[in-house]
Structure 1
Amino acid sequence: MLPGSGTQYQGAPRQLGPSGVSPCHARPTWQQQTVSVPVPRQSQAGGGAGVPVSQVSATPPGDARGASPTTQLSQPIAGREAEELSRIETGFYFDSLQSLAGLQRPGSAQRPAAGEPARPEPLRQYGYTTFAADVSTFAPVDDIPVGPDYVLGPGDDLTINVWGPVDATVVRTVDRNGRIVLPKVGDLRVWGLTFSQADRLIREQLARYFRGFQTSVTMGRLRTLRVHVVGEVCQPGVYTLSSLATLTNALFSAGGPTKLGSLREVRLLRNGHQVGTLDLYDFLQRGDRTRDFRLESGDTVFVPTVGEVAAIAGEVKRPAIYELRGQARVSDLVALAGGITPSSYLKRVQIVRAQPNAERVTVDVDLSQYYLKGDRTSNPPVNGGDLVLIYRSDPRIYNTIKVEGAVKYPGTYELKPMMRIAQLLPADKLLPEAQPERVEIARRRPDLAVEIIPVNLKKAWGGDQDQDVLLRPLDEVAVRTELKAARLVTLSGQLVRPGRYVIAEGERLSSLLDRAGGFTERAYLRSAVFTRQALQKVEKERLDEFVRVQEQRMFAAASTTVVGAEKEEVASQQQALQVQREALRALAAKVAVGRMVVRLDTPEKLRGSPDDIILVDGDSLEVAEPPASVYVLGAVRTSTSVLWVQGASAEYYVNRVGGLTKEADKKELHIVKADGSALSSFTNLRDVEPGDTIVVPPKQEEKIRVLPTIRDVVQTVGAALLSFAALAVLF
């Protein structure tokens, strides 16, 4: 079934090119494809075959529309751009490569490969994709209603129902002579009559022989037509169509015009005379089918070669290549493209014109004068091969002023003519904390340097013209204030009233603890954690520096061969270095806490002591419950926590986790207290408290292996003695 026609197709199926698509209309695909003309058409189509964009050279030949399809590409193009281009599209693609780069809307340009510039979308010939869809089914036509203007012909079936004194149903087929035979009436000639005229004729003839009856005449099976479709179509030939078929139905049957065929002058020939022409642009752009003539058997549909074409790109609604008809002007081409977009700039419309036997030239016109004043000189004619470019207007906004700071409605404002600062910022637009005496205007000088203009708004409101500055485009006005954000400190854990507190400037820790009600009975002050945001940055910087130094040491150790070591030992050390690097990476990913050691006490005892620090914004204090264990880690058998025993020394806890390993450095053993401080003296190691951490670092590996080194030296000396003995025997 042809789209919208209800016609029966009895011709050969549409041939496909090597890539499996129609030879006339490319379809979107993600694979590069080459479409060929069917074999019977190759000798006469000339430029009918498409040219893949990936085979088009970036340097145009003398005449792009006559270019050979085998032109090689200097820069292959992939993706959607691999859809084939016709010869006409290829010619405009050369022009648009340079001209359209600045005209693409965001997202319309194709994604370039890494390191390549973005390529514009190729311009396509308008209207030909309408015929790109394959016809899916060709069903017989038996149930399509016909209108009263349907013209009867040989092969049509008429169903005549009579009821009343006589009940009968008669089906008659119009014979080759255009007649039907009715009982008692005889033969009637209906060929050439419309359906309404035939209905009236049958009623009148039956009324001559019958009285008091009712009659109904309907159409049965419709006849078929044989129509020739020739010219620049995808599959010229003879097609069997429904008697309801029109010109467009015949074009769909033949696959539509090729891209070298005209869409604006499709001719209908009947009995050697031209019945009429069809401009498909009327149908495609306005839905007008008044010139879509009904076909008759023996008609010929002829599609001539495409006429002059011109392209339009940029800020129009439908950029494409259009076929011209008659003397067209730039405004006519804009109308074919659906009109301009709101962001178009008509004061500089550019025409890239191809001159015969000469290089291309560029013509700039002010099309706005034609639309505003009707100036025809601003609307020049368009020649075949012209490329019209409509650029975007400047996206920047210049008549604005930016206001920020202590104002009620910050943002961007319109700059009105002769606008001054007092008019922009009256007193009711400032916040209560604003300082009208401290207003600054940041202005760009002609040399692009920034100039700061101080303004006293109170004097400007009072009529001081020196302070009531005349504003300029793109000025930035800032209203200052001395209001500072509230300082917040967080208290959590074992406090009577934990939470977030606003602190006064210079307030100390003892004062805040008084406001929080002090500590609860379960508070363990020695394990309190006090953090400061300012220390987090310092801690992070020192951690990064430490990681950098350790990485340098590891790289140096990895590049140095250990003296006296065997290959197995070297491999083992390299593996150990790799483990150290991974541990170092984990350390680098550690989040800096910003902890500061503070020895807490009750607010009364803390007041006036060195630990009664001044609080700043972002400080945090967490007081935990009393711990019941001691953590042991490092070069020990098992790193774990051990239940705290009063009076037990560090040696006791090390023994409880299995003792020291061979790599342990007992001299470097130290204790990290619950408050964050560290102890390493022998006497202090005996004083272990709940929440402490005992750290046993490993020893540094020796760089010299004694036994392998002695063995190597003995082997070297023995070899030297044997050499001396051999020399003594010889001489």
Structure 2
Amino acid sequence: MFSRSNLLFLLCCLLAMTFALPASAADTASASATATATATASAPAAPAAPAADPAPFGTNLFQGHFSQSSSSKVIQSGDRLIMRLWGGRTMDDILTVDPEGMITIPDVGRVPVAGLPIDAKEPLEQAIKSKLNAAGVVDVEMYIRPMDTQPVSIFVTGFVPRPGNYTGTPSDTILAFLDKAGGIDSKRGSYRNIRVLRQGQEVGSFDLYPFALKGAMPHIRFQDGDTVVVGEKGPSVITSGEVRNTARFEFKPGELTGAKLIELADPQPRATHVSLSGSRGGAPYNLYLPMNDFKALRLENGDQIRFLADRPGDTIMVEAQGAIRGASRFPVRRNTRLHEVMSYIAVEPGRANLEGLYIKRKSVAVRQKKAIEDALRRLEQNAYTATSASSDEAQIRAKEAEMLSNFISRAKEVQPEGVVVVGTKGNIADLALEDGDVIVIPEKTDVVLISGEVMMPQAIVWNKDKDMDDYIKGAGGFSNRADESNLIVVHPSGEVVPRAKEVLPGDQVLVLPRVESKNLQAVKDISQVLYQVAVACKVILDL
């Protein structure tokens, strides 16, 4: 039977069995080609429709911001002012504020009035009197007020949360009166069919989408007794995915097309395909097609449209790290090879170890992470389903299960870097790069790192006259658990040399533990796994 320490080593080793040696350039290129072929051969499945029904487009307009009080309103371009003067000067006229915010008083000049409060007459009178005095007009009395401050009573009805009679001014926008009525009923009301009736006759019809999309404010000058009627919601579709506007879009009659939806939803540049889920003739209907084909498609009320990025771009991003200067990120065309990108990288002269160059690749890291998770699931299954022949053995297994649980919790935190070895004996393979690849150029160093089963793991200055035994002695010698015949040297490039006697600058020396057991097969298997872990992770796992 194994001792407790050997059992812990065994658990560690089983986890690490799924680690492969660092990926070679050839292996990685082959795996990438296979994945590309598979993706090309199989058509993507239409994604599931969004779970939640998004709010109607434009619903955020009505949050109480339009129904401001008259005291907060100011004079602006287009407003009309009634102005009467008597005494030193006589005048009775209606003046319009020009686009520059000025009114023009005949024979006196222009007076800036934009931005002055509508209901506070003193600032307005003071501005005009100052201009009159400057023109030599004195001893004058004045009456001036905005024409449009006379309140009007407007009925708001139809599909709104709070239909009723609301007070405002003739210059108030239709949005202000709708806001007072609670906006548009989100389930039944139309944002595109809003009418204004005057004595039973329609005097205006309004669509709020131009304002929501481009800020084009619908304009009408209200009269007392006007009625605002919000119509019933028209046909609508729901959008999601790679779009800037995720919402439920309402359509006018005759506009229910893919091209119109693209105009409203504003897909992201990376969107290439569309998934449609709906019904036709009472039966479920699903469609997946390129964006260009979608433009001509006729949509139906209730369709759910998801915009997708289902094609790799023509450009990938590659990053450089380590002993470099200047730019560290390089957008390059897809299928660009390593040697071409290396010509773009400015390295630190005298510091860069080009022979130690390697690549960190996301796809390799993902495969390594998945291997870890698969191994952990197998470990849990095997450990918790094992049977015990006696009560003593049951107690031992309970303690083993607790230790295993702690070990698995720590192992789940492992994040592989996905190292790809591209250099061997100074020769750098010219492999095709992938999006997100990180080219690492280590700095030259004269230090050798000794770790694993030695008395004092540490870094030692490299000396050409020293061999492996000298470096082990410099680290205090082997520990009592060391397998003295099982040493690994890892070069800066990630290349692994087992049982090497020669040590080079920047190398890492890993001393593996000795596995003690009467079961020769177990010794062989555990030793092999420990070797794989050391090569893949460049560490000796600590239980």
More strand per residue = 2
Q: Under a length normalisation based on structure 1, what TM-score does the superposition of the two structures give?
A: 0.34
Instruction: Specify the structure having the higher radius of gyration (Cα).
Output: 1
Q: Which has the higher contact order (CA 8 A, sep 6+)?
A: 2
